[in-house]
Amino acid sequence: MDQGSGRRPRTVQHLFGGNSRTSVVRCGVASSDLDPRLLRAFTAVAEELHFTRAAARLYTAQQALSRDIARLERALGVQLLTRTTRQVALTPDGERLLPHARRVLDAHEALHDAFRAAPRPLLVDLNSPGLVHDRVLARARELAPEQELMARYESGLTGAAREILAGRLDVSFGRYGGLPAGVRARLDSHFVRHEPMAVILPDDHELAALPEVPLARLAGTEVYAGAGNDRTPEWTDLAARLFAGHGIRLAPPAPLAVGKEEFQRIMAKHRTPVLAVTGFPPMPGCVLRPLTDPVPLSPVSLVWRAGLRHPGLDALRAAAGEIGRREGWLDRPPGSWLPEDEPGLPLTRPGPAG
């Protein structure tokens, strides 16, 4: 019983979504949340004061509109409208509800507009500064200037995939096929390009004078490819597959050199060639030489969490496709090398000969 009134609480039946449930009403207000659809129906009738016009405004049947009004009245435990064959009028309770209903509907619409008009920023991992991923991002920003595409630079798709699945990152670039099958099953990808691979050498290395370095010239040599870095095993695996057929040894694990100055110091001290791609930015004291005979290719994809929907992601995919078509990123040079049975690759599309 209500304290101080001696009256028992009234019970009303709610019929939302076809499921009946009973709620206790105190002082005319239901304990459960009201469906905005019912408030929208009431507001249309209150403003039109005509069921046929209100039903047309809401693109619904008049019978369905009448049911919604009845459900709202039962939910609130009051009569909101009086209806005769000639007119519809608001009761005092209907007059009292109308401004509240309008405020709720305005807030509801504002919530939807906020997420339609301004999705949250999209965090994009570009791996390393100066790679072609920067160009994809720059073009995506031109295609969708109203979106906030935030860049960060962290090496390695394996590490990025962990953060994508944990919700700390949205998109990254890298070798999708080098991820474990269980991880790939929770991601989506868009193939971006076949990126030719290269080697970074000290500028006084015996092979530095060559415009290109045949893989056979590295036989018996140790080449660093990120061994031991838990963020980049997909890159180390790609290198191991390439080196296995050419007598090249993987250099042992070493601390990651961060920054150009540290990279230059480590290269000058240890003089170990480093596996890279032809788009890798210049490093002081070093030269970048494409690898040939055959030309090894690194498959690069755009990778994101399965089910992600964001206009910034759409812009990234469009930008990658636009640049790729213009510059032949999907073309595979004749006689080039790719890892066998690599998941996530497009259908073979041979490039121009020569």
Residues 6+ apart with CB under 8 A from 132: 193, 195, 279, 300, 323
Please tell me the predicted confidence (pLDDT) of residue 347: 63
In terms of domains, do 86 and 168 share one?
no
The residue with greater pLDDT, 34 or 5, is: 34
In terms of domains, do 175 and 68 share one?
no
Establish if 93 belongs to a structural domain. yes
In single-letter form, the type of residue at position 2 comes to D
pLDDT over 60 at 348, yes or no: no
At residue 121 the predicted structure's pLDDT band, cuts being 50, 70 and 90, is very high
In terms of domains, do 127 and 201 share one?
yes
In terms of domains, do 177 and 303 share one?
yes
Please tell me the predicted confidence (pLDDT) of residue 4: 42
In terms of domains, do 27 and 127 share one?
no
Gap between the Cα atoms of 164 and 160, Å rounded: 6
Indicate the residue among 53, 88, 117 that finishes a domain: 117
In terms of domains, do 165 and 281 share one?
yes
| Under 8 Å between Cβ of 228 and 219 | no
At residue 218 the predicted structure's pLDDT band, cuts being 50, 70 and 90, is very high
Q: For residues 245-268, give the mean pLDDT.
A: 86
Give me the residues paired with residue 240 across strands.
none
Task: Provide the 10 A C-beta neighbour count for residue 3.
Answer: 5
In terms of domains, do 85 and 138 share one?
no
Please tell me the predicted confidence (pLDDT) of residue 260: 81
At residue 117 the predicted structure's pLDDT band, cuts being 50, 70 and 90, is low
Establish if 281 belongs to a structural domain. yes
In terms of domains, do 83 and 138 share one?
no
CATH number at residue 110: 1.10.10.10
Q: Strand runs (DSSP E) across the chain, as ranges?
A: 10-16, 19-26, 29-30, 81-83, 88-90, 122-125, 149-152, 171-174, 187-202, 213-214, 222-223, 249-250, 274-277, 286-292, 297-305
Mean pLDDT across the chain: 87
Q: Which helix (H) or strand (E) holds 112?
A: helix 92-117
Query: 185: domain range?
Result: 122-327
Gap between the Cα atoms of 225 and 253, Å rounded: 9
Distance, first Cα to last Cα, the chain = 91
| Under 8 Å between Cβ of 150 and 123 | yes
Establish if 220 belongs to a structural domain. yes
Gap between the Cα atoms of 338 and 350, Å rounded: 13
| Under 8 Å between Cβ of 122 and 94 | no
Indicate the residue among 99, 117, 135 that finishes a domain: 117
pLDDT over 60 at 1, yes or no: no
| Under 8 Å between Cβ of 198 and 276 | yes
Establish if 91 belongs to a structural domain. yes
In terms of domains, do 140 and 112 share one?
no
| Among candidate residues 176, 134, 136, 189, the one with its CA nearest the CA of residue 321 | 136
Using the CB atoms, write b or e for 287-311: b if 16+ within 10 Å. bbbbbbebbbbbbbbbbbbeeeebe
CATH number at residue 184: 3.40.190.290
pLDDT over 90 at 285, yes or no: yes
In terms of domains, do 97 and 176 share one?
no
Q: Which two tokens stand for residue 128?
A: 């390393």
In terms of domains, do 33 and 81 share one?
yes
Establish if 7 belongs to a structural domain. no
Establish if 137 belongs to a structural domain. yes
In terms of domains, do 274 and 129 share one?
yes
User: How many structural domains compose the chain?
Assistant: 2
